[in-house]
Amino acid sequence: MFGYQKGQDLEAGGASEPLYPGMVESPDLRWALIHKIYVILFVQIALTAAVAAFVVKVHAVSEFFVSSNAGFALYIFFILLPIISLCPLSYYYQKHPVNLLLLGLFTVAISIAVGMTCAFTSGKVILEAAIITAVVVISLTAYTFWAAKRGHDFNFLGPFMFSALMVLFSFALIQIFFPLGKMDDMIYGALTSIIFSGYIIYDTINVIKRYTYDEYVWAAVSLYLDVINLFFSLLRLVRANN
């Protein structure tokens, strides 16, 4: 029914072609894992868009967060909640259904932060940033699968991406005390966008080659953070340009 040939060794390759040269696991099993990861990622992005749209459209929500001490304290809690939820998630990411519940909590917290950022940004800027993010993510994902098929590996990006992320984090702390000007803000947004584009390639190649079958939640978290941070970077860049 699935087009398997008689006598074919499913464990050696299955019905699908290998995703990369020298692949020893079943391509069908790997494709099943990839499908699960990207379904979870799509649900996360859809949930983020829904929650962010609610925060933007219902002005009472954003006004509550910024106009009262209780609201501001709650907003700070939601900012810290993703970090807090990552701690148990890093331990239970292989335990169903606890991993999905923690993933949902993590996604909702991030979504509120996205909504609050968009609530004070023009719709035109949000739309431009969202379209560019979608184009970049789809293009880089397709490119990584194409490159992996031809034997390319981007594992070498790991140390460089981590070092660049530490530089960005340090720079972000400095901005608290010494805010950037418009041109500097645009440059920072552009560099951040490039770095998280690199992370999309790096995490996608890990999905293709390295994540095990019970690490689908952690793989989805990695890609989700790449997409959200890329969106924030492009939002900053477009907003500064406008």
Q: What is the pLDDT of residue 75?
A: 83
Predicted TM-score (pTM) of the model is 0.86
Residue 191 lies in a domain: yes
Go through 72-81 and write b for each residue having 16 or more CB atoms within 10 A of its CB, e for each that does not. Answer: eeebeebeeb
What phi and psi values does residue 187 have, to the nearest 5 degrees? -65, -45
Residue 9 lies in a domain: no
Residue 202 lies in a domain: yes
Q: What is the pLDDT of residue 180?
A: 66
pLDDT along the chain (242 residues), means of 10: 39 64 88 95 96 89 82 84 86 86 92 89 90 96 94 84 82 73 76 92 94 92 95 88 71
Q: What is the pLDDT of residue 133?
A: 96
Residue 16 lies in a domain: no
Residue 228 lies in a domain: yes
Residue 177 lies in a domain: yes
Residue 7 lies in a domain: no
Max CA separation in the chain (angstroms): 70
CA angle 75–163–142, rounded 5-degree value: 80
Boundaries of domain holding 177: 27-241
Structural domains counted in the chain: 1
Q: What is the pLDDT of residue 186?
A: 78
